Protein backbone atom coordinates (compact mmCIF):
# COMPACT_ATOMS: atom_id res chain seq x y z
CA UNK A 1 0.00 0.00 0.00
CA UNK A 2 1.49 3.39 -0.88
CA UNK A 3 2.38 5.45 2.19
CA UNK A 4 0.86 8.49 0.50
CA UNK A 5 -2.65 7.40 1.53
CA UNK A 6 -2.10 8.70 5.07
CA UNK A 7 -0.17 11.31 7.03
CA UNK A 8 -0.28 13.15 10.36
CA UNK A 9 -2.46 16.16 11.04
CA UNK A 10 -2.99 18.33 14.13
CA UNK A 11 -6.50 17.87 15.48
CA UNK A 12 -6.78 21.53 16.47
CA UNK A 13 -4.79 23.78 14.14
CA UNK A 14 -4.80 21.43 11.14
CA UNK A 15 -1.06 21.60 10.47
CA UNK A 16 0.09 18.50 8.58
CA UNK A 17 3.24 16.45 9.10
CA UNK A 18 5.04 13.69 7.23
CA UNK A 19 4.79 10.24 8.82
CA UNK A 20 7.17 10.17 11.79
CA UNK A 21 7.21 9.15 15.47
CA UNK A 22 5.51 12.25 16.83
CA UNK A 23 2.37 12.64 18.91
CA UNK A 24 1.73 16.33 19.37
CA UNK A 25 1.76 19.52 17.39
CA UNK A 26 4.71 21.73 18.25
CA UNK A 27 2.66 24.81 17.59
CA UNK A 28 -0.34 24.28 19.88
CA UNK A 29 0.54 21.09 21.84
CA UNK A 30 -2.63 19.42 20.52
CA UNK A 31 -2.62 15.74 19.60
CA UNK A 32 -1.81 14.59 16.08
CA UNK A 33 -4.05 12.18 14.24
CA UNK A 34 -3.61 10.02 11.16
CA UNK A 35 -5.68 11.27 8.26
CA UNK A 36 -6.26 9.42 4.99
CA UNK A 37 -6.77 10.03 1.31
CA UNK A 38 -10.31 8.65 1.27
CA UNK A 39 -10.84 9.32 -2.44
CA UNK A 40 -8.06 6.88 -3.28
CA UNK A 41 -9.15 4.35 -0.64
CA UNK A 42 -12.76 4.45 -1.84
CA UNK A 43 -11.65 3.05 -5.19
CA UNK A 44 -9.74 0.20 -3.50
CA UNK A 45 -12.15 -1.21 -0.96
CA UNK A 46 -15.47 -3.00 -0.87
CA UNK A 47 -17.46 -5.17 1.55
CA UNK A 48 -16.59 -8.19 -0.60
CA UNK A 49 -12.85 -7.45 -0.48
CA UNK A 50 -12.83 -7.22 3.31
CA UNK A 51 -15.01 -10.32 3.67
CA UNK A 52 -12.74 -12.35 1.38
CA UNK A 53 -9.75 -11.93 3.70
CA UNK A 54 -8.77 -13.84 6.85
CA UNK A 55 -10.76 -12.91 9.98
CA UNK A 56 -8.39 -10.51 11.74
CA UNK A 57 -7.75 -6.76 11.89
CA UNK A 58 -5.51 -6.84 8.80
CA UNK A 59 -8.56 -7.41 6.55
CA UNK A 60 -9.13 -3.65 6.92
CA UNK A 61 -5.53 -2.82 6.04
CA UNK A 62 -6.38 0.00 3.62
CA UNK A 63 -7.97 1.86 6.54
CA UNK A 64 -4.96 1.46 8.85
CA UNK A 65 -1.65 3.37 8.81
CA UNK A 66 0.58 0.51 7.68
CA UNK A 67 3.98 1.00 6.05
CA UNK A 68 4.33 -0.13 2.45
CA UNK A 69 4.88 -3.87 2.17
CA UNK A 70 4.17 -4.58 5.85
CA UNK A 71 3.58 -8.31 6.40
CA UNK A 72 1.75 -8.99 9.68
CA UNK A 73 2.65 -12.16 11.55
CA UNK A 74 -0.21 -12.37 14.07
CA UNK A 75 -3.96 -12.86 13.53
CA UNK A 76 -5.08 -10.13 15.92
CA UNK A 77 -8.73 -9.25 16.52
CA UNK A 78 -11.95 -10.18 14.75
CA UNK A 79 -13.40 -11.18 18.08
CA UNK A 80 -16.97 -12.50 18.42
CA UNK A 81 -19.98 -10.19 18.41
CA UNK A 82 -22.58 -12.25 20.24
CA UNK A 83 -26.20 -11.58 21.08
CA UNK A 84 -26.80 -11.45 24.82
CA UNK A 85 -30.44 -12.38 25.43
CA UNK A 86 -30.07 -13.54 29.04
CA UNK A 87 -28.14 -10.45 30.08
CA UNK A 88 -30.64 -8.42 28.05
CA UNK A 89 -33.52 -9.93 30.09
CA UNK A 90 -31.85 -8.90 33.32
CA UNK A 91 -30.94 -5.34 32.30
CA UNK A 92 -34.01 -4.58 30.18
CA UNK A 93 -32.81 -4.73 26.59
CA UNK A 94 -34.27 -6.96 23.87
CA UNK A 95 -31.47 -6.38 21.35
CA UNK A 96 -28.27 -6.47 23.30
CA UNK A 97 -24.93 -7.60 21.83
CA UNK A 98 -21.50 -8.10 23.34
CA UNK A 99 -18.34 -7.29 21.38
CA UNK A 100 -16.09 -9.71 23.20
CA UNK A 101 -12.47 -8.54 23.26
CA UNK A 102 -11.94 -10.61 26.41
CA UNK A 103 -10.82 -13.19 23.85
CA UNK A 104 -8.74 -10.93 21.61
CA UNK A 105 -5.44 -12.56 20.65
CA UNK A 106 -2.67 -12.76 21.69
CA UNK A 107 -3.11 -11.30 25.21
CA UNK A 108 -6.87 -11.21 25.83
CA UNK A 109 -7.61 -7.51 25.61
CA UNK A 110 -8.43 -5.01 22.90
CA UNK A 111 -4.95 -3.55 23.40
CA UNK A 112 -3.62 -6.23 21.07
CA UNK A 113 -5.21 -4.28 18.21
CA UNK A 114 -3.48 -0.98 18.91
CA UNK A 115 -0.12 -2.56 19.67
CA UNK A 116 -0.15 -4.53 16.41
CA UNK A 117 -0.51 -1.29 14.44
CA UNK A 118 2.02 0.56 16.62
CA UNK A 119 4.72 -2.11 16.20
CA UNK A 120 4.25 -2.18 12.42
CA UNK A 121 5.22 1.49 12.49
CA UNK A 122 7.97 1.07 15.11
CA UNK A 123 9.74 -1.26 12.69
CA UNK A 124 9.34 1.15 9.77
CA UNK A 125 10.70 4.06 11.84
CA UNK A 126 13.80 2.00 12.71
CA UNK A 127 13.28 1.42 16.45
CA UNK A 128 14.80 -1.70 17.99
CA UNK A 129 13.20 -1.03 21.39
CA UNK A 130 9.54 -0.43 22.10
CA UNK A 131 8.03 0.86 25.34
CA UNK A 132 4.80 1.98 26.97
CA UNK A 133 3.20 3.36 30.08
CA UNK A 134 0.40 1.06 31.04
CA UNK A 135 -2.31 0.12 33.49
CA UNK A 136 -1.71 -3.53 32.62
CA UNK A 137 -3.42 -4.69 29.46
CA UNK A 138 -1.19 -2.57 27.26
CA UNK A 139 1.85 -3.88 29.15
CA UNK A 140 0.83 -7.46 28.34
CA UNK A 141 0.16 -6.67 24.69
CA UNK A 142 3.43 -4.77 24.13
CA UNK A 143 5.52 -7.41 25.95
CA UNK A 144 4.01 -10.32 23.99
CA UNK A 145 4.07 -8.74 20.56
CA UNK A 146 7.57 -7.32 21.11
CA UNK A 147 8.76 -10.87 21.84
CA UNK A 148 7.02 -12.15 18.73
CA UNK A 149 8.42 -9.39 16.51
CA UNK A 150 11.93 -9.33 17.99
CA UNK A 151 11.89 -5.96 19.74
CA UNK A 152 13.35 -5.21 23.15
CA UNK A 153 10.59 -3.93 25.45
CA UNK A 154 10.52 -1.50 28.38
CA UNK A 155 7.24 -1.36 30.26
CA UNK A 156 6.34 1.27 32.88
CA UNK A 157 3.45 0.59 35.28
CA UNK A 158 1.99 1.95 38.53
CA UNK A 159 3.32 -0.22 41.38
CA UNK A 160 -0.14 -1.36 42.57
CA UNK A 161 -1.18 -3.34 39.45
CA UNK A 162 -2.92 -6.70 39.65
CA UNK A 163 -0.43 -9.61 40.05
CA UNK A 164 -1.74 -11.34 36.90
CA UNK A 165 -0.97 -8.28 34.79
CA UNK A 166 2.55 -8.02 36.23
CA UNK A 167 3.29 -11.72 35.69
CA UNK A 168 1.67 -11.54 32.25
CA UNK A 169 4.25 -8.92 31.28
CA UNK A 170 7.36 -10.43 32.87
CA UNK A 171 6.81 -13.84 31.30
CA UNK A 172 7.48 -12.38 27.85
CA UNK A 173 10.93 -11.18 28.91
CA UNK A 174 10.14 -7.47 28.98
CA UNK A 175 11.92 -5.04 31.29
CA UNK A 176 9.25 -4.03 33.79
CA UNK A 177 9.63 -0.80 35.75
CA UNK A 178 7.20 -0.27 38.64
CA UNK A 179 6.63 3.37 39.54
CA UNK A 180 5.44 4.64 42.90
CA UNK A 181 2.46 6.71 41.88
CA UNK A 182 -0.70 6.65 39.80
CA UNK A 183 -0.92 5.96 36.07
CA UNK A 184 -0.87 9.72 35.49
CA UNK A 185 2.54 9.91 37.16
CA UNK A 186 3.80 7.00 35.04
CA UNK A 187 2.48 8.66 31.91
CA UNK A 188 4.16 11.96 32.67
CA UNK A 189 7.46 10.21 33.37
CA UNK A 190 7.21 8.29 30.08
CA UNK A 191 6.78 11.46 28.06
CA UNK A 192 10.04 12.68 29.66
CA UNK A 193 11.80 9.37 28.95
CA UNK A 194 10.57 9.41 25.35
CA UNK A 195 12.22 12.81 25.08
CA UNK A 196 15.60 11.37 26.13
CA UNK A 197 15.74 7.82 24.74
CA UNK A 198 15.37 6.66 21.12
CA UNK A 199 12.56 4.22 21.88
CA UNK A 200 9.24 3.67 20.20
CA UNK A 201 6.77 4.43 22.98
CA UNK A 202 3.56 3.00 21.57
CA UNK A 203 1.36 5.46 23.45
CA UNK A 204 3.65 8.47 23.36
CA UNK A 205 5.60 9.09 20.13
CA UNK A 206 3.80 6.32 18.19
CA UNK A 207 0.43 7.28 19.62
CA UNK A 208 -1.28 8.56 16.44
CA UNK A 209 -0.58 5.22 14.69
CA UNK A 210 -1.33 3.12 17.75
CA UNK A 211 -4.70 4.79 18.33
CA UNK A 212 -5.84 3.94 14.80
CA UNK A 213 -5.80 0.25 15.74
CA UNK A 214 -8.87 0.90 17.90
CA UNK A 215 -10.91 1.63 14.78
CA UNK A 216 -10.94 -2.08 13.98
CA UNK A 217 -13.44 -2.60 16.84
CA UNK A 218 -15.83 -0.35 14.93
CA UNK A 219 -15.25 -1.98 11.53
CA UNK A 220 -15.84 -5.42 13.01
CA UNK A 221 -19.05 -4.40 14.79
CA UNK A 222 -20.45 -3.02 11.52
CA UNK A 223 -19.40 -6.04 9.46
CA UNK A 224 -20.68 -8.51 12.06
CA UNK A 225 -24.06 -6.73 12.15
CA UNK A 226 -24.28 -7.40 8.39
CA UNK A 227 -22.69 -4.08 7.35
CA UNK A 228 -25.08 -2.10 9.49
CA UNK A 229 -24.47 0.34 12.31
CA UNK A 230 -26.03 -0.25 15.74
CA UNK A 231 -28.30 2.25 17.50
CA UNK A 232 -26.10 2.51 20.59
CA UNK A 233 -22.57 1.62 21.64
CA UNK A 234 -21.46 1.51 25.28
CA UNK A 235 -17.70 1.90 25.68
CA UNK A 236 -15.49 1.97 28.78
CA UNK A 237 -13.36 5.10 29.05
CA UNK A 238 -9.90 5.61 30.53
CA UNK A 239 -7.97 8.03 28.31
CA UNK A 240 -11.13 8.34 26.20
CA UNK A 241 -9.54 7.26 22.93
CA UNK A 242 -11.49 4.08 22.08
CA UNK A 243 -14.91 5.72 21.96
CA UNK A 244 -13.64 8.42 19.57
CA UNK A 245 -12.00 5.80 17.34
CA UNK A 246 -15.14 3.65 17.10
CA UNK A 247 -16.94 6.79 16.02
CA UNK A 248 -14.20 7.52 13.47
CA UNK A 249 -14.54 3.95 12.13
CA UNK A 250 -18.31 4.28 11.69
CA UNK A 251 -17.90 7.71 10.03
CA UNK A 252 -15.32 6.27 7.63
CA UNK A 253 -17.56 3.35 6.67
CA UNK A 254 -20.36 5.80 5.87
CA UNK A 255 -17.99 8.06 3.92
CA UNK A 256 -16.74 5.10 1.87
CA UNK A 257 -20.27 3.94 1.15
CA UNK A 258 -19.80 0.63 2.98
CA UNK A 259 -22.72 1.17 5.37
CA UNK A 260 -25.84 3.31 5.17
CA UNK A 261 -25.69 6.54 7.18
CA UNK A 262 -27.43 6.25 10.52
CA UNK A 263 -27.32 8.14 13.81
CA UNK A 264 -25.44 6.11 16.42
CA UNK A 265 -25.50 7.17 20.06
CA UNK A 266 -22.21 6.80 21.94
CA UNK A 267 -22.31 6.09 25.67
CA UNK A 268 -19.22 6.28 27.85
CA UNK A 269 -18.74 4.14 30.97
CA UNK A 270 -16.50 4.98 33.93
CA UNK A 271 -15.93 3.93 37.51
CA UNK A 272 -17.23 6.50 40.02
CA UNK A 273 -13.79 6.42 41.69
CA UNK A 274 -12.23 7.78 38.52
CA UNK A 275 -14.81 9.56 36.42
CA UNK A 276 -13.41 12.79 34.98
CA UNK A 277 -15.16 12.31 31.63
CA UNK A 278 -18.60 11.22 32.89
CA UNK A 279 -18.50 13.95 35.53
CA UNK A 280 -17.87 16.60 32.86
CA UNK A 281 -20.71 15.26 30.72
CA UNK A 282 -23.15 15.12 33.63
CA UNK A 283 -22.25 18.73 34.44
CA UNK A 284 -22.69 19.74 30.78
CA UNK A 285 -19.05 20.87 30.71
CA UNK A 286 -16.76 20.52 27.71
CA UNK A 287 -13.61 20.51 29.82
CA UNK A 288 -11.99 17.88 32.01
CA UNK A 289 -11.22 18.50 35.68
CA UNK A 290 -8.50 15.98 36.58
CA UNK A 291 -9.18 13.54 39.43
CA UNK A 292 -7.07 11.36 41.70
CA UNK A 293 -8.17 7.81 40.85
CA UNK A 294 -9.54 5.55 43.57
CA UNK A 295 -11.19 2.50 42.08
CA UNK A 296 -10.72 -1.25 41.65
CA UNK A 297 -11.04 -0.70 37.89
CA UNK A 298 -7.33 -0.04 37.57
CA UNK A 299 -7.32 -0.31 33.79
CA UNK A 300 -9.63 2.73 33.73
CA UNK A 301 -7.81 4.66 36.47
CA UNK A 302 -6.66 7.65 34.45
CA UNK A 303 -7.48 10.88 36.25
CA UNK A 304 -6.28 13.16 33.49
CA UNK A 305 -7.58 11.65 30.24
CA UNK A 306 -5.79 13.07 27.21
CA UNK A 307 -8.65 12.30 24.83
CA UNK A 308 -11.29 13.31 27.37
CA UNK A 309 -12.13 16.49 25.52
CA UNK A 310 -12.73 14.58 22.28
CA UNK A 311 -14.67 11.83 24.06
CA UNK A 312 -17.03 14.46 25.50
CA UNK A 313 -17.56 15.91 22.03
CA UNK A 314 -18.19 12.51 20.43
CA UNK A 315 -20.70 11.52 23.10
CA UNK A 316 -22.65 14.75 23.37
CA UNK A 317 -22.82 15.37 19.60
CA UNK A 318 -24.23 11.88 19.10
CA UNK A 319 -27.02 12.44 21.62
CA UNK A 320 -25.44 9.88 23.94
CA UNK A 321 -24.54 10.20 27.60
CA UNK A 322 -22.05 8.98 30.17
CA UNK A 323 -22.48 7.38 33.57
CA UNK A 324 -20.30 5.85 36.24
CA UNK A 325 -20.80 3.11 38.82
CA UNK A 326 -19.38 2.27 42.25
CA UNK A 327 -16.83 -0.46 42.85
CA UNK A 328 -19.30 -2.97 44.36
CA UNK A 329 -21.53 -2.52 41.29
CA UNK A 330 -18.51 -3.28 39.09
CA UNK A 331 -18.04 -6.63 40.81
CA UNK A 332 -21.81 -7.39 40.68
CA UNK A 333 -21.73 -6.65 36.96
CA UNK A 334 -18.75 -8.94 36.31
CA UNK A 335 -20.73 -11.72 38.01
CA UNK A 336 -23.92 -10.85 36.15
CA UNK A 337 -22.24 -11.01 32.72
CA UNK A 338 -20.44 -14.24 33.56
CA UNK A 339 -23.49 -15.98 35.00
CA UNK A 340 -25.85 -14.87 32.23
CA UNK A 341 -23.69 -15.10 29.10
CA UNK A 342 -20.62 -17.15 30.02
CA UNK A 343 -18.26 -14.24 29.42
CA UNK A 344 -15.70 -13.53 32.13
CA UNK A 345 -14.57 -9.93 31.89
CA UNK A 346 -12.20 -7.81 33.92
CA UNK A 347 -13.19 -4.79 35.98
CA UNK A 348 -13.44 -2.48 32.93
CA UNK A 349 -16.04 -4.87 31.46
CA UNK A 350 -17.94 -4.76 34.74
CA UNK A 351 -17.97 -0.99 34.41
CA UNK A 352 -19.44 -1.27 30.91
CA UNK A 353 -22.18 -3.74 31.87
CA UNK A 354 -23.15 -1.88 35.06
CA UNK A 355 -23.19 1.46 33.31
CA UNK A 356 -25.32 0.06 30.48
CA UNK A 357 -27.83 -1.19 33.04
CA UNK A 358 -27.95 2.28 34.60
CA UNK A 359 -28.43 3.94 31.20
CA UNK A 360 -31.30 1.55 30.39
CA UNK A 361 -32.91 2.34 33.76
CA UNK A 362 -32.62 6.04 32.90
CA UNK A 363 -34.38 5.39 29.54
CA UNK A 364 -31.37 6.78 27.72
CA UNK A 365 -31.03 3.40 26.02
CA UNK A 366 -34.36 1.92 24.92
CA UNK A 367 -35.21 -1.81 25.01
CA UNK A 368 -35.79 -2.34 21.28
CA UNK A 369 -32.69 -0.50 20.09
CA UNK A 370 -29.66 -2.50 18.95
CA UNK A 371 -27.10 -1.87 21.68
CA UNK A 372 -23.49 -3.10 21.59
CA UNK A 373 -21.49 -3.34 24.82
CA UNK A 374 -17.73 -3.24 24.30
CA UNK A 375 -16.04 -5.75 26.59
CA UNK A 376 -12.37 -4.90 26.36
CA UNK A 377 -10.53 -7.26 28.71
CA UNK A 378 -10.47 -10.69 30.35
CA UNK A 379 -11.55 -11.52 33.91
CA UNK A 380 -8.66 -13.89 34.51
CA UNK A 381 -6.43 -10.82 34.83
CA UNK A 382 -8.39 -9.26 37.72
CA UNK A 383 -9.52 -12.25 39.78
CA UNK A 384 -8.37 -10.45 42.96
CA UNK A 385 -11.55 -8.32 42.98
CA UNK A 386 -13.73 -11.43 43.23
CA UNK A 387 -11.79 -12.95 46.12
CA UNK A 388 -14.37 -12.20 48.78
CA UNK A 389 -17.39 -13.20 46.69
CA UNK A 390 -16.64 -16.92 46.50
CA UNK A 391 -15.46 -19.37 49.12
CA UNK A 392 -13.86 -22.71 48.37
CA UNK A 393 -16.30 -25.40 49.53
CA UNK A 394 -15.13 -28.03 52.00
CA UNK A 395 -14.08 -31.11 49.98
CA UNK A 396 -16.11 -34.30 50.36
CA UNK A 397 -15.10 -37.95 50.04
CA UNK A 398 -15.56 -39.66 46.67
CA UNK A 399 -18.69 -41.50 47.88
CA UNK A 400 -22.25 -41.21 46.53
CA UNK A 401 -23.65 -41.07 50.07
CA UNK A 402 -21.44 -38.09 50.87
CA UNK A 403 -22.61 -36.30 47.77
CA UNK A 404 -26.30 -36.96 48.61
CA UNK A 405 -25.74 -35.53 52.10
CA UNK A 406 -23.98 -32.51 50.56
CA UNK A 407 -26.89 -31.96 48.18
CA UNK A 408 -29.28 -32.14 51.13
CA UNK A 409 -27.52 -29.31 52.91
CA UNK A 410 -27.63 -27.22 49.74
CA UNK A 411 -31.39 -27.74 49.39
CA UNK A 412 -31.94 -26.78 53.04
CA UNK A 413 -29.89 -23.61 52.55
CA UNK A 414 -31.94 -22.67 49.48
CA UNK A 415 -35.21 -23.21 51.42
CA UNK A 416 -33.98 -20.92 54.20
CA UNK A 417 -33.15 -18.25 51.63
CA UNK A 418 -36.63 -18.53 50.03
CA UNK A 419 -38.23 -18.21 53.48
CA UNK A 420 -36.18 -15.08 54.15
CA UNK A 421 -37.33 -13.51 50.87
CA UNK A 422 -40.99 -14.42 51.53
CA UNK A 423 -40.97 -12.81 54.95
CA UNK A 424 -39.23 -9.73 53.54
CA UNK A 425 -41.93 -9.48 50.87
CA UNK A 426 -44.66 -9.90 53.46
CA UNK A 427 -43.13 -7.14 55.57
CA UNK A 428 -42.90 -4.86 52.52
CA UNK A 429 -46.55 -5.52 51.61
CA UNK A 430 -47.68 -4.72 55.14
CA UNK A 431 -45.73 -1.47 55.26
CA UNK A 432 -47.00 -0.61 51.80
CA UNK A 433 -44.64 2.26 51.18
CA UNK A 434 -41.48 0.25 50.61
CA UNK A 435 -40.52 -0.74 47.11
CA UNK A 436 -39.86 -4.31 46.11
CA UNK A 437 -36.18 -3.73 45.48
CA UNK A 438 -35.49 -2.00 48.77
CA UNK A 439 -37.34 -4.65 50.80
CA UNK A 440 -35.45 -7.60 49.37
CA UNK A 441 -31.75 -8.03 49.98
CA UNK A 442 -29.79 -7.37 46.79
CA UNK A 443 -28.02 -10.70 47.12
CA UNK A 444 -31.34 -12.54 47.16
CA UNK A 445 -32.41 -10.85 43.94
CA UNK A 446 -29.14 -11.72 42.25
CA UNK A 447 -29.60 -15.35 43.28
Partner 1 sequence: MSITVQIPTPLRRLTAGTPHLTCEAANLNELFATLDLKFPDLKSHLRDEAGEVRRFLNIYVNEEDIRFLGGASYSFQEGDEVLLVPSIAGGSV
- Return residues touching partner 1 (CB under 8 A): 12, 23-24, 26-31, 109-111, 132-138, 181, 183-185, 187-188, 190-192, 195, 202-204, 207, 214, 235-243, 287, 289-290, 292, 299-302, 304-307, 309, 348, 376-377
Supply the minimum distance, in Å, between the C-beta of residue 165 and partner 1. Answer: 11
Distance set, CA 315 to CA 12, 101, 280, 372 (Å): 18, 22, 11, 15
In the complex with partner 1, which residue's Cβ is closer, 121 or 376?
376
Supply the minimum distance, in Å, between the C-beta of residue 88 and partner 1. Answer: 23
Supply the minimum distance, in Å, between the C-beta of residue 300 and partner 1. Answer: 6
Nearest alpha-carbon partner for 129 in 41, 217, 221, 199: 199
From CA 286, how far away is CA 279, in angstroms rounded? 10
Supply the minimum distance, in Å, between the C-beta of residue 30 and partner 1. Answer: 5
Distant-in-sequence, close-in-space partners of 67: CB < 8 Å, separation ≥ 6: 3, 120, 121, 123, 124
Q: Is the backbone of residue 40 left (phi > 0), alpha (psi -120 to 50) or beta? A: alpha
In the complex with partner 1, which residue's Cβ is closer, 31 or 230?
31
Q: In DSSP terms, which residues pair with 274 in a beta bridge? A: 271
Classified as helix, coil or strand, 271 is strand
DSSP assignment of 122-185, as one string? HHHTT-SEEEEE-SSHHHHHHHHHHHHHT-EEEEEEETT--HHHHHHHHTTT-EEEEESS-HHH
Supply the minimum distance, in Å, between the C-beta of residue 25 and partner 1. Answer: 8
From CA 214, how far away is CA 230, in angstroms rounded? 17
Degrees (nearest 5) of the Cα angle 201, 127, 172? 65
In the complex with partner 1, which residue's Cβ is closer, 88 or 136?
136
Classified as helix, coil or strand, 364 is coil
In the complex with partner 1, which residue's Cβ is closer, 82 or 179?
179
Nearest alpha-carbon partner for 49 in 64, 66, 61, 31: 61
From CA 341, how far away is CA 356, in angstroms rounded? 15
Supply the minimum distance, in Å, between the C-beta of residue 26 and partner 1. Answer: 5
Supply the minimum distance, in Å, between the C-beta of residue 373 and partner 1. Answer: 13
In the complex with partner 1, which residue's Cβ is closer, 216 or 241?
241
Supply the minimum distance, in Å, between the C-beta of residue 3 and partner 1. Answer: 23
Q: What is the maximum span of the chain, computed from C-alpha positions, in angstroms?
A: 78
In the complex with partner 1, which residue's Cβ is closer, 256 or 311?
311
From CA 104, how far away is CA 83, in angstroms rounded? 17
Supply the minimum distance, in Å, between the C-beta of residue 329 and partner 1. Answer: 18
In the complex with partner 1, which residue's Cβ is closer, 5 or 205?
205
Classified as helix, coil or strand, 264 is coil
In the complex with partner 1, which residue's Cβ is closer, 138 or 331?
138
Supply the minimum distance, in Å, between the C-beta of residue 175 and partner 1. Answer: 17
In the complex with partner 1, which residue's Cβ is closer, 306 or 336?
306
CB 276 within 8 A of CB 350: no
In the complex with partner 1, which residue's Cβ is closer, 129 or 191?
191
Nearest alpha-carbon partner for 290 in 304, 269, 308: 304
In the complex with partner 1, which residue's Cβ is closer, 230 or 239?
239
Supply the minimum distance, in Å, between the C-beta of residue 32 and partner 1. Answer: 10
Distant-in-sequence, close-in-space partners of 245: CB < 8 Å, separation ≥ 6: 211, 212, 214, 215, 217, 218
CB 210 within 8 A of CB 66: no
Amino acid sequence: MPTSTYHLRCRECGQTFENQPKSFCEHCFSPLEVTYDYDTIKKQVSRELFASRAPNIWRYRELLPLPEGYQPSLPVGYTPLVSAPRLGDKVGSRRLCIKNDAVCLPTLSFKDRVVAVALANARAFGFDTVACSSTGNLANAVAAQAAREGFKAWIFIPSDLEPAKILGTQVFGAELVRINGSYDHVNRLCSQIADEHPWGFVNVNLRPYYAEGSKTVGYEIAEQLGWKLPDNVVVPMAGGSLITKIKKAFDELVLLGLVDPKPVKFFGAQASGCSPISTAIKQYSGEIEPQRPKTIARSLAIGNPADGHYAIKAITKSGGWSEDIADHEIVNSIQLLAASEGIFTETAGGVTVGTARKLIQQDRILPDETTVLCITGNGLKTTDVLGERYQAEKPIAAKLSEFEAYLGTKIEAAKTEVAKISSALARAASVGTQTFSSAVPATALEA
